Amino acid sequence: MNAKKFYITTPLYYVNDKPHIGHAYTTLAADVLARHLRSRDIPVYLQTGTDEHGAGVERAALEHGKEPKAWCDRVSSEFRALWRTLNVGYDRFLRTTEPSHEASVQAAFEKLLKSGDIYKGSYEGMYCPSCEVFYDEAELKDGRCPVHNSLAERVSEETYFFRLSKYEKPLLEHYAAHPAFLSPGQRAQELLNFVRSGLKDVSVSRSRVAWGVPVKSAPGHTVYVWFDALLSYATGPGYHPEKPSPDLPGVWPADVHLVGKEIFRFHGVIWPAMLMALGLELPRRVYAHGWWTINGAKMSKTKGNFIRAEDVVRDYGVDALRYFLFREVPFGQDGDFSMEALRRRYNADLANDLGNLFSRIMNMAAKYLDLKLPSKPESSVIFGELSSRTPVIHGAMEDLRFSEALESIWGAIGRLNRLVDERKPWALAKTDPEALKSFLHEMIWCLRLVAGWLDPFMPDTASKMQLQLGVGRSLDGTQPQKVPPLFPRKQDDAPKDPSTN
Ligand code: MSP
């Protein structure tokens, strides 16, 4: 039997809006983790996709004069194009409008109806049409949705409820037995408090929304978009409640659901309760990352305050964006995105620290080394010292402490730059050519190490470096070449002094 794959999920993105860097963030995190694990020969299954049902999507399609499905096709393919641009690899791209997913959602709903975990009732409450969520009055701010700040509407409807209350105790037991299930810790506490304060049953059908998976046994009702979308984590790798799912054991349970903090509750409370009700194993971990603001303010399309990943890529390249997002802010925390900060990091960390180091070494190697690169320098002190960072970096990566991994990598880059300054290889060229050669050999091996560490974050840069460093090629045949800068410096576009014109 094949080993179970490490299953990573991103949320399924709503197709009511074009993707921005906030969406890119969760998916890039999944890709970074997947690339890291694969580099250690751990088989990975990464699922992403689009969440295409519900009132929000229906409304967006209408506003654009499109049929919902045609609209979904268009925006879903924009997401797919973005993942190509950002160098994201996935094993499964699930659309909730896929017939096989819809069939599994219908069957799951019926299964829980039969078991009594779903029952019919009626509901009146305050509803935010943008989130498609009912809020308790206490959660609203002046009657407004805490996420969108739009006025919540009082809505009454016949609905089917999922018996979430029944799972309060089992959930608390599960959290206690699996302390890493809800991560990071500071966000977990909020969820624990929420569950301890008592769980109410939740509505899982809509009679007001036509664009959704029809409830089989109740014409006029569609399945609530969250019940539908959450199930995708299991239906993607083949789950159907009434049919054999031969591929599921190779993937399920999910090893980590990566989500933004605002959807932690769905993933940390409702989803595990749904899985308990369906008799499926629970995911190993649900990780809630923070939110990006733009120049200190919430990203909002209506305010025009958002940044498209494509624009950043056009100006700085994919790898600079991938680097910035995971270096600037620790993954679990909120952070602010500004082009200023990006340019600063680009110039300081990428153009100077990494880019200069690489050019300095490669250009000298091109000049002073002959055809052969030597085998691994087992006795090199600096190589040994650098190698000892590998377990630290791996530990940070496994634990999604991406910024710490990058700090450690930059610690190593700084160390190498200082070493070049101290050893002054350009002077050695005149005084001790043999010492120069062995120094450059060591440095090339150190850079190979650095390129390997960088690969999950900056795959294009890592492969450019590796090509020049002869990785994967016969050592004998590799003549180091002069290289163009990895990251050409960007000029500060500080306002010009008019008197100098
Ligand atoms: N469709 C639901 C998820 C269903 S999963 C079963 C949804 N979609 S979403 O498109 O609104 O958001 C998807 C992801 O993008 C979330 O993880 C969210 O946190 C992330 N981001 C959206 N804006 C963001 C920022 N400004 N900053 C960081 N991430 C944010 O929710």
CATH number for the domain that contains residue 460:
1.10.730.10
- Residue 208 DSSP one-character state: S
State how far the Cα of 347 lies from the Cα of 344, in Å rounded to an integer: 5
Domain boundary among 224, 255, 289: 289
Q: Report DSSP state, residue 243.
A: S
Same domain? For 257 and 359 the reply is no
Q: Ligand 1 within 6 A of 51 CB? A: yes
Cα-flanking dihedrals φ and ψ of residue 226, to 5°? -75, -40
Is 261 found in the same domain as 145?
A: yes
Name residues whose C-beta falls within 8 Å of residue 418's C-beta, 6 or more positions apart in sequence: none
Q: Token digits for 270?
A: 């409702």
pLDDT in tens, 118-144: 999 998 889 887 777 778 888 899 999
Same domain assignment for residues 252 and 345? no
Give yes or no: residues 284 and 345 share one domain.
no
Q: How many angstroms does the Cα of residue 463 sit away from the middle of ligand 1?
A: 30
Paired residues of 50 in beta bridges:
13, 95
Question: Based on the number of CB atoms within 10 Å of its own CB, is 169 exposed (0-12), middle (13-18) or buried (19 or more)?
Answer: exposed
Q: pTM for the whole thing? A: 0.93
Answer yes or no: do 84 and 174 share one domain.
yes
Residue 432: what pLDDT? Answer: 95
The whole-angstrom separation of Cα 353 and Cα 71 is 45
Respond yes or no: is residue 298 known to be catalytic: yes
User: Is 394 one of the catalytic residues?
Assistant: no
Measured CA to CA, the distance from residue 442 to residue 448 in angstroms comes to: 10
* Annotation says 446 is catalytic: no
Residues of the chain short of pLDDT 70, as ranges, are: 1-2, 371-375, 473-478, 493-501
Same domain, 345 and 230: no
Q: Which of 16, 21, 25 has the most ligand 1 atoms within 8 A of CB, as the residue to mutate? A: 25
**495 located within any domain:** no
30 domain residue, yes or no: yes
User: Has residue 494 been placed in a domain?
Assistant: no
| Domain assignment present for 376 | yes
Instruction: Say if 166 falls within a structural domain.
Output: yes
- 244 alpha carbon to ligand 1 midpoint, in Å? 32
CA-based torsion, 119, 125, 131, 136: positive or negative = negative
d(CA 203, CA 191): 19
48 lines ligand 1 (CB under 6 A): no
The catalytic residue among 72, 145, 221, 289 is 145
Coil, strand or helix: which one is 487? coil
Residues 243 and 358 in one domain: no
Catalytic annotation on 178? no
417 domain residue, yes or no: yes
Q: What's the rounded Cα separation, in Å, for the pair 233 and 226? A: 12
Q: Which domain holds residue 208?
A: 6-289
Q: For residues 183 and 52, state if they share a domain.
A: yes
Distance 194 CA to ligand 1 centre (A): 21
How many Å separate Cα 349 from the centre of its chain? 22
Domain of 267: which CATH number?
A: 3.40.50.620
Confidence (pLDDT) at 494: 52
Q: How far is CA 358 from the centre of its chain?
A: 28
How far is residue 316's CA from residue 337's CA, in Å, rounded to a whole number?
Answer: 14
Could you confirm whether 131 is annotated as catalytic? yes
Whether residue 305 is contained in a domain is answered as no
User: Which of 5, 36, 131, 257 is an active site residue?
Assistant: 131
CA of 243 from ligand 1 middle (Å) equals: 31
Which residue out of 262, 271, 294, 333 has the highest number of ligand 1 atoms within 8 Å of its CB and is therefore the one to mutate?
A: 262
Residue 173 pairs in a beta bridge with none
Give residue-wise pLDDT tens across range 285-321.
Answer: 999 999 999 988 888 777 778 899 999 999 999 999 9
101 part of the active site: no
Q: What separation in Å is there between the alpha carbon of 73 and the centre of ligand 1?
A: 19
Cα gap 362→142, rounded to integer Å: 62
Q: Which of 258, 289, 320 is the last residue of a domain?
A: 289
Q: Do residues 30 and 46 touch, judged by C-beta distance below 8 A?
A: yes
Tell me: do 132 and 237 sit in the same domain: yes
Is 478 a domain residue? no
In a shared domain, residues 352 and 250: no
- Whether 26 lines ligand 1, by a CB cut-off of 6 Å, is yes
Domain boundary among 289, 304, 319: 289
How far is the centre of ligand 1, averaged over its atoms, from the C-alpha of 239 (Å)?
24
Cα-based distances in Å from 427 to 422, 424, 433, 436, 446: 11, 6, 9, 9, 21
What is the residue with the minimal CA distance to atom 30 of ligand 1?
Answer: 22
CA distance 262 to 433: 60
> Quick one: which atom of ligand 1 is closest to the CA of 233?
6
501 contacts: CB under 8 Å, gap ≥ 6: none
372 and 270 within one domain: no
Instruction: Specify the DSSP element, H or E, that contains 6.
Output: strand 6-14
Among the listed residues 15, 51, 29, 25, the one whose alpha carbon sits nearest the alpha carbon of residue 231: 51
Q: How far is the CA of 294 from the centre of ligand 1 (A)?
A: 16
Please tell me the distance from the alpha carbon of residue 320 to that of residue 53, in angstroms, as a whole number.
34
Which residue among 298, 372, 394, 464 is the active-site one? 298
Same domain flag for 193 and 267: yes
Q: Name the CA dihedral angle for 51, 56, 57, 61, rounded to a multiple of 10 degrees.
A: -170
> Could you give the number of structural domains in the chain?
2
Catalytic annotation present for 72: no
